[in-house]
């Protein structure tokens, strides 16, 4: 009994390990495939958890939807042979029940489930009384409230060890990434939940192998707590997501090329320099807010002119003109188009709100 309790305690503390690495096949396809991949991953000292998809939600019918519950016995065997802890995605209360019955160490809730509060609540109810760690992927769509709502539901069920997985967001017209990282959203979740581990899933952000190193390094630079990467002993034969999976050897190569960063430093020269720069930021922020406030005053005056002349508040052609000028100026100043778009949209929405108030 003492050994069992000690094991459970170790598992619950797993999410607090800096540099946590979860790796394994996108889907469990056969016992041989899982055991061979697990055996090769176990030789890598950095792998902490064997992740594997048992049930696979597919966008269209007819695709491989996972091996199902029978794959859990293979996962348990892999755990016993390698000593690696195990993790699976769960989407229903029955998934939770089956996974726990096969001694799975970590559960994660997928993006397609996080987006549905009803499904998350059903999983939360199934987890009551369990101390298994639970990782929550961001919802498919970029919505911090949905993500934080899922966290609160799982925490309210009494789950003590909860973490987050950033796997990117669906975005129309995106070409560089399978799921756009939108780094500002996981950063906001880190602000809201500073005590929760944030794991990056470069595999689902990229959808290919070529961008994995760049995205993984970016997450380290942003002080994320770990990585989840898909690995298959023979990606070319994989039944799902073959383009984004790495062989264990390729995974080891990627890990060796990551540059680790410290969360901070106690060196006085560093602290003094940082404090001086942060003070500059404080002054610049004050100036920016004052300038924005002045801009809004002018926007309200424009709203009065529109009201007096019975002109509509929204002038799409004018906004497009402003946006094009902002893109050009931003580019010349080294600012990204994505940032300029986001910034100008917020400014425009606030201007429209102020002008609409004048019509009431």
Over residues 259-276, the mean pLDDT reads 85
- Using CA atoms, how far residue 114 sits from 134, 146, 152, in Å, is 12, 7, 12
State the pLDDT at residue 2. 35
pLDDT at 55 over 50: yes
Residue 145 tokens read as: 């409230």
**pLDDT band per the 50, 70, 90 thresholds, residue 61:** confident
**pLDDT band per the 50, 70, 90 thresholds, residue 10:** low
pLDDT at 52 over 50: yes
Q: Over pLDDT 70: what percentage of the chain?
A: 97
pLDDT at 264 over 80: no
- Residue that wins the pLDDT comparison between 56 and 143: 143
Bridge partner list, 23: 50, 229
What pLDDT, in 10s, does the model give residues 165-219? 999 999 877 678 999 999 999 999 999 999 999 999 999 999 999 999 999 999 9
Over residues 127-148, the mean pLDDT reads 96
State the pLDDT at residue 172. 76
Over residues 58-71, the mean pLDDT reads 83
- Residue that wins the pLDDT comparison between 18 and 261: 18
pLDDT at 8 over 70: no
Q: Of 314, 267, 20, 7, which is closest to residue 164 (Cα–Cα)?
A: 20
d(C-alpha 275, C-alpha 27), whole Å = 48
Residue 330 tokens read as: 């931003």
What pLDDT, in 10s, does the model give residues 288-312? 999 999 999 999 999 999 999 988 8
What pLDDT, in 10s, does the model give residues 37-49? 999 999 987 999 9
Assess contact for 121 and 157: CB atoms under 8 A.
no
What pLDDT, in 10s, does the model give residues 98-135? 999 999 999 999 999 999 999 999 999 999 999 899 99
Over residues 250-258, the mean pLDDT reads 96
Residue 241 tokens read as: 């997501």
Over residues 150-163, the mean pLDDT reads 97
- Supply the pTM of this predicted model: 0.81
State the pLDDT at residue 135. 98
State the pLDDT at residue 16. 85
Sign of the C-alpha dihedral, residues 51, 52, 54, 59? positive
State the pLDDT at residue 9. 46
CA 128 to chain centre: 25
**pLDDT band per the 50, 70, 90 thresholds, residue 4:** very low
Whole-number mean pLDDT of the chain? 92
d(C-alpha 271, C-alpha 229), whole Å = 34
Over residues 5-33, the mean pLDDT reads 82
- All structural domains of the chain: 2-256 (3.20.20.70), 270-357 (1.20.59.10)
State the pLDDT at residue 174. 64
Over residues 91-103, the mean pLDDT reads 97
d(C-alpha 179, C-alpha 170), whole Å = 5
């Amino acid at each position: 009994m003492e050994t069992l309790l000690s094991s459970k305690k170790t598992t619950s503390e797993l999410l607090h390990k800096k540099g946590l690495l979860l790796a394994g096949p996108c889907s469990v396809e056969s016992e041989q495939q899982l055991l061979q991949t697990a055996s090769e991953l176990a030789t890598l000292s950095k792998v902490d958890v064997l992740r594997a998809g048992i049930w696979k939600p597919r966008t269209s019918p007819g695709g491989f939807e996972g091996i199902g519950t029978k794959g859990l016995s293979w996962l348990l065997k892999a755990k016993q042979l390698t000593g690696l802890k195990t993790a699976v995605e769960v989407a229903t209360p029955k998934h939770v029940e089956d996974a726990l019955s096969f001694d799975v160490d970590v559960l994660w809730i997928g993006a397609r489930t996080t987006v549905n509060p009803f499904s998350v609540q059903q999983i939360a109810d199934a987890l009551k009384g369990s101390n298994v760690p639970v990782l929550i992927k961001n919802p498919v769509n970029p919505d911090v409230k949905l993500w934080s709502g899922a966290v609160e539901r799982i925490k309210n069920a009494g789950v003590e060890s909860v973490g987050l997985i950033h796997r990117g967001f669906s975005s129309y017209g995106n070409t560089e990434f399978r799921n756009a990282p939108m780094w500002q959203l996981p950063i906001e979740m880190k602000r809201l939940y500073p005590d929760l581990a944030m794991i990056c899933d470069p595999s689902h952000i990229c959808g290919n192998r070529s961008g994995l190193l760049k995205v993984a390094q970016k997450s380290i630079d942003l002080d994320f707590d770990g990585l989840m990467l898909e690995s298959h002993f023979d990606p070319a034969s994989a039944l799902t997501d073959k383009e984004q999976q790495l062989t264990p050897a390729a995974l080891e190569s990627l890990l060796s090329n990551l540059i680790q960063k410290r969360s901070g430093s106690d060196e006085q020269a560093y602290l003094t320099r940082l404090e001086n720069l942060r003070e500059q930021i404080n002054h610049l922020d004050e100036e920016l807010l004052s300038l924005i406030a002045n801009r809004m005053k002018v926007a309200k005056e424009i709203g009065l002119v529109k009201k007096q002349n019975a002109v509509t508040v929204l002038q799409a052609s004018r906004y497009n003109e402003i946006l094009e000028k902002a893109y050009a100026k931003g580019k010349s100043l080294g600012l990204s188009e994505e940032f300029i778009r986001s910034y100008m949209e917020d400014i425009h929405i606030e201007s429209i709100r102020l002008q609409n108030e004048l019509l009431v």
